[in-house]
Amino acid sequence: MKICYLLTVTASLFAFNAQANNWNMEDLMRPYLGADYVYSHAKHGGFARDAKEGYNSWSVNMGTDIGHHTSLEAFFQQAGERKAHLRDYTLKSEFYAWGLDAYGRAQVMCSNFYLLGSLGLADYNVKYKARPGGSVDKQRVGYRGGVGFGYDFTEHLGMRVMGRYSYVGMKNLDNLMEVTAGLRYYF
């Protein structure tokens, strides 16, 4: 249900952009779709202290540039399941997240290269299963911030690389340090 709300808000941004010609705002809003590879290093604790720390994820996002220096972006990220084979049991862990980030952008010289900074909120859903044993399924909203750079190959195609710190604050998952790399298609 929450993903439906997120998609509705993002679709509204695109609908607003479709009406931009009526308000002469074509230079102010530019929607885009993106896909990223994400490597996450998790700091586990409590029940999950022996879980694997590295996760390979994928992320899809959609957003819009607002002016020349800011963007607003909604994203969904899914990490694959990781297994830790321990002496007496096996511990499986996985997570997914969705949220909203605001980006600031500074162009370097007069090139297609730019520096990025981001701040955002995300809803993290984490699952741990121990065999034999029990399972934990928790959800919490955390905050995140990142820095990175991007390059626009053409008017419609660009790339982005970011380093990000996400504070989740759960007993079993305190934080994530992530590196993302991906492509953007601008409309």
146-186 pLDDT, tens digit each? 999 999 999 999 999 999 999 999 988 999 999 999 999 99
The mean pLDDT of 31-58, rounded to a whole number, is 91
Q: How far apart are CA 159 and CA 141, in angstroms?
A: 28
Residue ranges of domains in the chain, CATH in brackets: 2-186 (2.40.160.20)
The whole-angstrom separation of Cα 56 and Cα 109 is 34
Q: What does each C-alpha distance from 183 to 62, 67, 132, 150, 164 come to in angstroms?
A: 11, 20, 42, 9, 17
Task: Tell me how far CA of residue 17 lies from CA of 14, 24, 68, 72, 81, in angstroms.
Answer: 5, 11, 15, 13, 38
pTM beyond 0.85, yes or no: no
- Comparing 60 with 129, which gets the higher pLDDT? 60
Q: Residue 133: which region, alpha, beta or left (left: phi > 0; alpha: psi -120 to 50)?
A: left
Widest Cα–Cα separation across the chain: 66
Q: What's residue 20's pLDDT?
A: 44
pLDDT band at 22 (very low <50, low <70, confident <90, very high): very low
pLDDT above 70 covers a percentage of the chain that reads 86
Looking at residues 111-125, what average pLDDT do you find? 95
